[in-house]
Every structure is written in structure tokens, then in C-alpha cells.
Amino acid sequence: MRLSVEILIEKYKNNIYAIAFNVCKNAQDAEDVVQDTFIQYLSRKKDFETEQHIRAWLIRVAINKAKNKNNTFFRRNTLPLEDYMETLTFESQESSELFETVMKLPEKYRVVIHLFYYEDYSVNEIADIVKVSVSNVKVRLSRGRMFLRETLKEVWIDDE
């Protein structure tokens, strides 16, 4: 027995997501597990006995993939931002707060802000590093600065 992937996705994606999320405790990783599970089903050439057999196989694959995600080097060796911040030293409290605010930016802004201000790369060099156009780097820097300005303005207003 072999069912189309569209039918299986419609029927079981929410169940597989819930199982993966239970193991990974992370929405993005759970979504990756769901995708990888259905990709593995597509690439598997063997037929199944019943639909229940397919469902059990999908669940087993999802659990194994979720466990593998948790056992990656990256997941085992990550620190929460707060713990990481404690290991760094800054010249002043303001420098520490600024760095923490930068680290909370969305990744595409955080990377260019960090490279520009902390690593002293030029806009052209950043464009080469992150493989985007120079104008895109300028837009990301501008938007990242805007986010920082708004966030830090709120902090300074609260302090007054």
C-alpha cells in the first residue's frame, strides 16, 4: 500500500508536529522534523501493509529525527543569551545593554550590525561575507539601526 504524500500531510502533519515539538521543545526544529519525515517517506520505495502501518512508521521516523536534532553538537552546546552575556565583559553598563539589544535583533539585521560596528567591516566586505548586494546591506543596517533606536529609546524613556 502506498498513499500520496499530499493525503498523508493533510491527515498527519499536525500529529507529527506535536510529537516533534514534544521532543524538540522548539517550533522551528519541529517544523524541520515534519518536513524531513515526509521527505523520507517520499524517498522510501517500499510499500506498507496498511494505513496504520504508514502512520506508525511516520511517527517512529519523526521521533527518531527529533531525537537526532536534540543530539546535534549545536543543540548540546548552546547557551541561553542571558548565560552567554554573563561570560562577557564590557567597559560600561550601557555597552552591555547595547550588545544585549543587538543580540535580540532579527538575525539578518543582527549579523550586519555586528559585522559593521563590532568587527569594523565595510559595507562592501559585509556584502561579500553574507552574499547579498551592497544596497541590501545598507537597507539591513538602516532597519537594524531603526530597531535599535526604537528599543533603546523605550529603555531611556523608562529610566527618566
Q: Is the pTM higher than 0.85?
A: no
Q: What number does CATH give the domain 5-75?
A: 1.10.1740
Distance CA(145)–CA(6), nearest Å, equals 43
The residue ranges of every structural domain in the chain are 5-75, 81-159
For residues 69 and 31, is the Cβ–Cβ distance under 8 A? no
For residues 115 and 121, is the Cβ–Cβ distance under 8 A? yes
Q: What is the pLDDT of residues 22-52, one digit of tens each?
A: 888 778 899 999 999 999 999 988 888 999 8
For residues 32 and 69, is the Cβ–Cβ distance under 8 A? yes
Q: How distant, in Å, are the alpha carbons of 64, 130, 146 from that of 134? A: 42, 10, 18
CATH class, domain 81-159, is mainly alpha
Q: What is the pLDDT of residues 135-145, one digit of tens each?
A: 999 999 999 99
Query: Phi first, then psi: what are they for 132, rounded to 5°?
Result: -135, 170
